Structure 1
Amino acid sequence: MDYEKNPLVHADRQLGDSSSAWAASFCCRSMRPLIICRGPIRKEAIDVFREMGISDFGILLSEKDSIVYPNAQSPELRIMKNPAHVHRVPDYSGASKEERNQRIEQIIKIAQEN
């Protein structure tokens, strides 16, 4: 079975289209999440957000995401329509407590500004 068509994996999650007012109240189209993870989990988050009708989301891209294969491009980067929604950071966590605090501040600033 094709992964993209598997009903156990993919479903209609656009509650805003529901005939039930209660279910429609859970519509998420106006959300603008920032995805802070890498690899297949990031791609899965993108898939789920799209199924929910969320089209305006951003992703963090750390140096570790591209350091192993500098010329490779992950599938989620290929499908990002707006390059301004790809936010580059040196690392997600930092090596020291000071770097972690700087990274947290940087990520919060990205989330607030976008």
Structure 2
Amino acid sequence: MKKTETPDPATEGVAAKTLAKPPRKLAIALHYDNRSAPRVSAKGMGPVAERIVEIAREAGVPVEANSPLAEALSHLELDEEIPEALYQAVAVLISFILRKGKAPNPPG
């Protein structure tokens, strides 16, 4: 998902349904397909962050505020896999979303 594309809940993975948005208006979208580590699919600050969150909500993609995780993920490039150091934090986020029943099962 590029910054201007609408996420497709049917084809995006669970983590793509997750956006972390800290107070400084930073948004990070993740894509997870069960074949590799989740990847950064969109990121932005300020108005771009607000637009990412808006597009996600319009598409029914869950948005979760997690400032420390968003800050850590903000240092990654688009389409870059999350590093092993963040696996646990992202797994907790995915688990939280699945427990709330807000995301479809990831493809795969």
Structure 1 and Structure 2 fold alike (TM over 0.5): no
Between Structure 1 and Structure 2, the one with more helix by share is 1
Q: TM-score, normalised on structure 2?
A: 0.36
Q: TM-score, normalised on structure 1?
A: 0.34
Per chain length, whose mean CA-contact separation is higher, i.e. which structure has more relative contact order (CA < 8 Å, sep 6+)?
2
